[in-house]
Structure 1
Amino acid sequence: MITTDHNSNSFNSYASVDDLENFADARGIQLPENKEPLLIKAMDYLNGLNWAGQKAKFDQPLPFPRKDMVIDGYFLPSGIIPVQVVTAQCMLAVEAISGDLLPSVREAPVKSESLAGALAVSYAVDESGFKPQYTAVMSILGDLVVSSGFSINCIAERS
């Protein structure tokens, strides 16, 4: 059962079934009869993101509501779940119709190696072994999510 009341201990979804149906209807997307598992799968994905700010309360079941968040230069009130998060969950729920959002990630096995001259390595690329990227979702979430990548600062000097 989907519970969208963030004050409830059973809070498990930002988007309601109605939110998902309205999202799909506006885009001409056919949804299956059982929509709640799609929202839960989408929520599982969202729970794994690196969100900006901190949870509003230590013991809340989901990452939102949050405090100390800035969107487009404005502080987000701590009791608010941004519409971008609800939309992102609906987008991911639609993606979940065709498969798992969180497949096991495997590295592709080495298919062949060669050391003649330059090193050449070929990988047996299997599309099912790589984590999918949802760039449209990440674009909508924008500043709400902190990059999970890394950067290295360095100075190069010529001697």
Structure 2
Amino acid sequence: MPLTIGTNTYVSLADADDILSFKLHSGGWKSTSEQDRERALIEATAAIDRLGFNGSIARYDQPLGWPRLRMRDREGRSIDPNVVPQVVRTATCEMALHLLTAPELKPSPAVSRKRVGDLEIQYRATLPDPVPLSVRQLLAPFLAGSPYSVELIP
């Protein structure tokens, strides 16, 4: 599937290359094939869209979650409902880099059972968050349920 802005990605390969060229420890991006970088952008866009955002999509027939209506940035400024904000584009690039360079997620080697005197606690294995903290922090003002987001009531 070709990389198509607005259909399966928020950012072009050239723009992603520019954005990530300024990021520390992004050597894994440029050393990866163009085809894999495009795939990473498509997967990153899909992962970001699964996070759940405040507001609503701008057009009922748009394939992606952005642009959105009734959105505000971290400072409370209205976001143009006809554009994908730069912060979403940057988060997409960071997620794509993470997909290419992070080790595969495996269940944590948590203690399965701990006993202290009469108290016993049993844990279940958990998977680490597949979305890096840096991406969640960038998108926090827009995420539904985030303590940093503001839902506007029409």
On whether the aligned pair clears a TM of 0.5, the verdict is: yes
TM-score, with length taken from structure 2: 0.74
Considering Cα pairs closer than 8 Å and 6+ residues apart, tell me whether 1 or 2 has the greater RCO: 2
Q: Any stretches of 5+ residues in structure 1 without a counterpart?
A: 150-159
Matches within 5 A, 1:2-151: 2-4=3-5, 6=6, 11-27=7-23, 29-30=26-27, 31=29, 32-33=32-33, 34=35, 35-71=37-73, 72-99=75-102, 111-112=112-113, 114=115, 117-121=118-122, 123=123, 125=125, 129-147=127-145
Counterparts of 1:88 and 1:107, CA distance in 2: 25
Counterparts of 2:115 and 2:129, CA distance in 1: 28
Q: Any stretches of 5+ residues in structure 2 without a counterpart?
A: 148-154
CA change 1:66–1:118 in 2 (3 A) is same
Deviation at 1:98, TM superposition (A): 2.6
TM-score, with length taken from structure 1: 0.72
Deviation at 1:77, TM superposition (A): 1.8
The structure richer in helix per residue is: 2
CA change 1:65–1:124 in 2 (3 A) is closer
Q: CA RMSD in A?
A: 2.9
Count residues in correspondence.
Answer: 139
Please identify the structure whose Cα radius of gyration is greater. Answer: 1
Moved over 6 A (4+): 106-110
Deviation at 1:97, TM superposition (A): 0.7
Task: State percent identity of aligned pairs.
Answer: 23
Counterparts of 2:86 and 2:136, CA distance in 1: 14
8 Å contact kept, 2:41–2:93: yes
